[in-house]
Amino acid sequence: MRSDRYQEYFTAENLMGPNSIRLLDELLETYPLPFAAENRVLDLGCGTGLTSLFIARETGATVYANDLWISEEANRERFAAWHMEDRLIPVHEDANCLSFEQDMFDAVISIDSYHYFAGKEGFFAERILPFLKPGGIALIAVPGMKNEYDGRSDELCSEWLTDEAYMFQSAEWWKTILGTHEDMVRVHTWEMAAFDQPWQEWFATGHDFAMNDQRFYEAMIKPYTCFVGMMVKKK
């Protein structure tokens, strides 16, 4: 996999949860984006920008790396250290009120962040779709529940997730939440193949949050949860 080439970045300083590069790699294997520098991609909820780095290198696009929790300046310094300042543009905005131009992006990508702000019907059509160019694509990966445990996240995972358990939902639930719109010509949601490796590489960082997650891996995370992939194509 292309993500194997990025192992030097799989550290506590760069990862903010299960390895986002592994999830992104699967999405781009399923839906390749053969872009060039003039193509623009919005990486929504990019964290430290590791996914933005992968997008820029592997698709050729210019990436707008947006995150609410990580400052624009911190990511600008990181991108310069990676010698990617000409291809990665740091942005610090709330996903609920983005200020980009309509039809600006060839693709919108969001890895392990969309569930924090978009778990309500109408959000995608109102807040994301307008920024995609005609023919553009959105690729999203979030942690979720296996379909057979749909609706049971509070019951099965609340000890681990506490008050965030409600955000873990099934692929079918997310398809309903993405909704329909006359400009959405295709919507696909699925349980992703990537699972154990992203988690194990998170644990290997030794981050305090990773060590807490590891306590629940065998009892809750592994038997009941998955990663949900989503794809939306604009007309």
Q: 81 Cβ partners below 8 Å, 6+ apart? A: none
Angle between helices 196-203 and 20-30 (to 10 degrees): 160
Q: Do the beta carbons of residue 105 and residue 133 sit within 8 Å?
A: yes
Could you please report the per-residue DSSP string of 159-179?
HHHGGGGGG---HHHHHHHH-
What does the pLDDT read at residue 223? Answer: 98
Q: What are the C-alpha distances in Å from 168 to residues 35, 36, 80, 151, 164?
A: 32, 35, 35, 9, 8
Which among 143, 123, 157 has a CA at the least distance from the CA of 23?
A: 143
Q: How far apart are CA 2 and CA 229, in angstroms?
A: 18
Displacement of CA 196 from its chain's centroid (Å)? 17
Tokens of 16: 């903010």
Residue 122 φ/ψ region, left for φ over 0, alpha for ψ in the -120 to 50 degree band, beta for the rest: left
Q: How far apart are CA 192 and CA 90, in angstroms?
A: 28
Q: Do the beta carbons of residue 44 and residue 95 sit within 8 Å?
A: yes
Q: How far apart are CA 79 and CA 50, in angstroms?
A: 9
Beta bridge partners of 144: 226
Beta bridge partners of 40: 62
DSSP 132: E
Q: How far apart are CA 221 and CA 50, in angstroms?
A: 24
Instruction: pLDDT tens for the chain, 235 residues: list them.
Output: 899 999 999 999 999 999 999 999 999 999 999 999 999 999 999 999 999 999 999 999 999 999 999 999 999 999 999 999 999 999 999 999 999 999 999 999 999 999 999 999 999 999 999 999 999 999 999 999 999 999 999 999 999 999 999 999 999 999 999 999 999 999 999 999 999 999 999 999 999 999 999 999 999 999 999 999 999 999 9
Q: How far apart are CA 30 and CA 210, in angstroms?
A: 28
CATH number, domain 2-234, options 3.90.1410.10, 3.20.20.140, 3.40.50.150, 3.40.50.620: 3.40.50.150
- What is the chain's alpha carbon radius of gyration, rounded to the nearest angstrom? 17
Q: How far apart are CA 9 and CA 25, in angstroms?
A: 14
Determine the 3-state secondary structure of 152 from DSSP: coil
Q: pTM for the whole thing?
A: 0.97
DSSP 112: S
